[in-house]
Amino acid sequence: MRLQDKVALITGASSGIGRETALLFAQEGASITVVDINDEGGQETVRMVEQLGGRALYVRADVAKAADCQQMVAQTESTFGKLNVLFNNAGIMHSRDDNAMTTEEEIWDLTININLKGVFLGCKYGIPALQRAGGGSIINTASFVALLGAATPQIAYTASKGGVLSMTRELAVIHARENIRVNALCPGPLRTEMLMSFLNTEEKRQRRLVHIPMGRFGEAKEMAKAALWLASDESSFMTGAEFVVDGGITAAYVTPE
C-alpha cells in the first residue's frame, strides 16, 4: 500500500474531491483526519473510511480561522502521533462571484479567505508538524483557472486559485531541503456539487464543456487518484509543480512560451 502507516489531514473532506481522497488514502493504508464545517458530511466520511477498515478522525474547522487550523493539526498529532500528508483542499465557488464590476466585496473577501488564506493557514500550522515527522507532502488544490481565464466570469475564485499556485511554488522552494514537497493539484471542470451548482443552467454547462477536448466533466475520484500520487513516495522528485488534471483544456488554450 502506497501510504502505509502515513497520517493524512484533508480539508473539505465532507464531499467531492476531499471525501474521495479520504477513502482512497485510507484504502492505501493512511489514517485520516477529516476536516470540514459540514459536521454531518464529515462524520459520514469518517464512517465510510471505518467501513473500509481504516482509521479516521473528524475535526470541525473553518480553514479561514487561525485557531481552527492550529487545532486541526494539534488534534491530528495527538490522535495519530504525527502528520505526513497535508491536503489543503477546502474551497468555495460562490454563485454571486462574477466579473470585477458586479462581484460584491463581501463575496471577494469570503472567497479569498477560504480558498487562499485557508491554504496559508493550513501550511502555517501544518508545516511544523511535517517537520516534526521528518518531512512529508503538501498538496494544495488550485485549478485550471489558475492558468487560464474562466469562460464563465468568477473573478474571486480565479484570483484565489492563482494565489494558491504562486504560494505553492514559494513554499516548495523554501522547504525543499527539509524533505517537504509542496505541489498544486489543478483540476479541470468536475462533475461535483460545487461546480454544478455554479454551472446551474444547461447553457452554462455547455459553454464550459465545449472547451474540454475530452468532451466531459472530470470526476472527483479521478482527482483523488492524482492526489494519491502526489502524496506517495512515487512523486518523490516532484515539488513546486502544477499537476494539471483537466481533460486537455489547458493544452487546447495555453500558448507555449
pLDDT at 211 over 90: no
pLDDT at 47 over 90: yes
Check: CB of residue 140 under 8 Å from CB of residue 185.
yes
Lowest mean pLDDT across 55-64, 88-97, 190-199, 216-225: 190-199
- In degrees, rounded to 5, the angle at the alpha carbon of residue 219 between the alpha carbons of residues 37 and 201 is 80
Burial class (CB in 10 A: 0-12, 13-18, 19+), 198: buried
CB atoms within 10 A of CB 254: 12
Q: Residue 254: which pLDDT band, with cuts at 50, 70 and 90?
A: low
SS3 226: helix
Q: Residue 204: which pLDDT band, with cuts at 50, 70 and 90?
A: confident
Lowest mean pLDDT across 12-21, 203-212, 240-249: 203-212
2-33: buried (b, 16+ CB within 10 Å) or exposed (e) per residue? bbeebbbbbbbbbbbbbbbbbbbbbbbebbbb
Domains of the chain from N-terminus onward? 7-189+222-245 (3.40.50.720)
What does the mean pLDDT of the chain come to?
95
pLDDT > 70 fraction of the chain, expressed in percent and rounded: 98
What pLDDT, in 10s, does the model give residues 139-180? 999 999 999 988 789 999 999 999 999 999 999 999 999 999
Q: Name 81's Cβ contacts closer than 8 Å, sequence gap at least 6.
A: 7
Task: Please state the pTM of the whole predicted model.
Answer: 0.95
pLDDT at 256 over 70: no
Q: Name 186's Cβ contacts closer than 8 Å, sequence gap at least 6.
A: 142, 143, 144, 146, 147, 165, 242, 243, 244, 245, 246, 250
Active-site positions read 157
CA 13 to chain centre: 9
Give the amino acid at 183. N
> Which phi-psi region, left, alpha or beta, contains residue 89 (left: φ > 0; alpha: ψ -120 to 50)?
alpha
Helix (H) or strand (E) holding 227: helix 220-231
Check: CB of residue 126 under 8 Å from CB of residue 89.
no
Q: Residue 209: which pLDDT band, with cuts at 50, 70 and 90?
A: confident
